[in-house]
Structure 1
Amino acid sequence: MPKIEDPSKPPYFPKDLDSIYDLLGWMMLYAPEFKSGMSWAYEESIDITFFQLNEGLKTIRHQLGQQTYAQLVSMSQQMRAHFEADPEDKTEDGIKGRVLIDEMSDILLASRRRKVPRGGG
């Protein structure tokens, strides 16, 4: 678990597919530092952000299936490596990390669509 500033308050992590999708959107906006400067936002560091993402993925693992879950965890690891390699957002690594955010978002959207009953919205 990453170091958190207030140990009495465990870090938030998403507990459903839509919340993970929202976290990925936040990550897209605030990569590679993952700091928004807003007090209501997600915890703000690369360690906590990726902890949140990976814990969220664990939570919905049963919805995703083992193969999709493993794919997303691998993508998360690759994404973090790209952002750590480009902390000032000046090289291709930052772009590669953002491409992975888009790809993960697409996979989550496809997973959500598979869960919608036929004839329903």
Structure 2
Amino acid sequence: MSRWQLQPDAITSVLTAVEGDLETMNGAWSAEALDAVSASMSASGPVGADVQSALTAVLNSQGERLAAMGGRVSAGLVGVESAVNCFEAGQEEMLEECQTHMVASAGSGDFSWWYGYERPAGAV
């Protein structure tokens, strides 16, 4: 690839959707949600005690996995957001640097910044 082809607006849209999904997942596995499931299972009485115990173990196990996954998703969101911000800032810095050198070259006739130390054949 000869140049960057990032679309910051499209990336931001995807990140926003992922953040929403993460919030939904976190809400579904929140302590309150798990307590509500446990309370519902308690209503089954002694007959469902074994089922309640097994279900609680499964939910706790999955809750730990989902918490770890949520942490990785959050880290990924921060990383991508930072990368996009750096890309956008880099674009602005490159533009400013190019404009500065363009004006300087136009005034002095020195195009060495553009071509390095070697001027291509035919360069002024």
Bin for the TM-score computed over the shorter chain: 0.3 to 0.5
TM-score when normalising by structure 1: 0.33
Question: Which is greater in Rg?
Answer: 2
The structure with more helix, counted as a fraction of residues: 2
